[in-house]
């Protein structure tokens, strides 16, 4: 019976009633999860070439031709970048309009 109770004794109970502290703790955990996900998704390092392959590449006079897959990815990246810039500009404009039209920012005309 005591063996079953031991794992329960090890649990940490959160008795603090401070929601700000709990929120900061949750944000810290989520940031660590994001960091782990970034490390998992990180591309592997490129293949290391030896000196003979490097000399052969430099001796070849033909220019580098990008693969079709890379060209498609670059075009997709450029389209998404332009869309992101447009959305960012629109959001900044809305934010500016909200700041300008906020009555709290108006000067008191009666004074």
DSSP secondary structure letters along 77-105: HHHHHHHHHHHHHHHHHHHHHHHHH-GGG
Residues 91, 99 contacting (CB under 8 angstroms): no
In terms of residue numbers, what domain contains 95?
A: 67-102
The per-residue pLDDT for 1 is 44
Residues 17, 25 contacting (CB under 8 angstroms): no
Count of domains for the chain: 1
Mean pLDDT of 8-27: 72
Mean pLDDT of 22-35: 90
* Residue 88, domain member (yes or no): yes
Whether the model pTM is above 0.85: no
Render pLDDT for 42-76 as a digit per residue (tens, 0 to 9).
Answer: 887 788 889 999 898 888 888 888 999 999 999 99
* Residue 73, domain member (yes or no): yes
* Residue 94, domain member (yes or no): yes
* Residue 80, domain member (yes or no): yes
User: DSSP states of 2-64 as a string?
Assistant: HHHHHHHHHPPP-----HHHHHHHHHHHHHHHHHHHHHHHSPPPPPPP-HHHHHHHHH--SPP
The per-residue pLDDT for 43 is 80
């Amino acid at each position: 019976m005591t063996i079953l109770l031991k794992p329960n004794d090890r649990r940490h109970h959160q008795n603090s009633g401070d929601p700000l502290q709990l929120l900061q703790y949750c944000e810290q955990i989520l940031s660590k999860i994001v960091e782990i996900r970034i490390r998992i998704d990180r591309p592997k390092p490129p293949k290391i070439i030896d000196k003979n392959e490097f000399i052969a590449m430099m001796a070849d006079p033909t220019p580098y031709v990008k693969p079709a897959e890379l060209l498609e990815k670059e075009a997709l990246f450029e389209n998404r970048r332009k869309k992101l810039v447009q959305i960012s500009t629109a959001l900044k404009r809305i934010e500016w309009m909200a700041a300008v039209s906020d009555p709290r920012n108006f000067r008191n005309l009666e004074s």
